[in-house]
Amino acid sequence: MSEHPDCALIRRGYEAFGQGDMEKLSTMMTADVIQHMPGSGPLSGHHKGREAVFDLYRRLGEETNGTFNVHLDKLLADGRGHVMSFHTARADRGDRGIEIHEGIFFTIVAGKISDLDVCTEDIEESDSFWA
């Protein structure tokens, strides 16, 4: 059984993110991509446009001294331009660490990621870590 093309796109995106390859990742996103981050922490909210999304990724790295990483667990496609990913995020920040299950609901338009809606298993824990 071969992987759905939308899942393959998201898998390549996770790989590029993990390698810090923003140039490659930028080719997978629309110019007006939006990433929605849950909660009420300093990184929460709507990050609109490729530059704003990459600034979010830069801040994830800076805030955690480069320890932020995700391990992709599963991808699900609906065949209509949506993919759900499930991953475990890990990071250290100051004297705190976090390991938390998250998911992203992706919208894909014309073979590119146009929307990422992040969900987390514990918004309060996530907010506390990023505060």
- What residue segments make up the domains of the chain, in order of their start? 5-130
**Which CATH code fits 5-130?**
3.10.450.50
pLDDT at 39: 95
Tell me how far apart the alpha carbons of residues 32 and 51 are, in angstroms, rounded to a whole number. Answer: 9
Q: Tell me the per-residue pLDDT of 49-81, one tens digit each, with 9 for 90 and over.
A: 999 999 999 999 999 999 999 999 999 999 999
CB 103 within 8 A of CB 121: no
Query: What is the average pLDDT value for the chain, to the nearest integer?
Result: 97
- Band (pLDDT 50/70/90 cuts) for residue 4 is very high
Q: Tell me the per-residue pLDDT of 8-49, one tens digit each, with 9 for 90 and over.
A: 999 999 999 999 999 999 999 999 999 999 999 999 999 999
pLDDT at 2: 87
User: What is the phi/psi pair of residue 43, to 5°?
Assistant: -100, 0
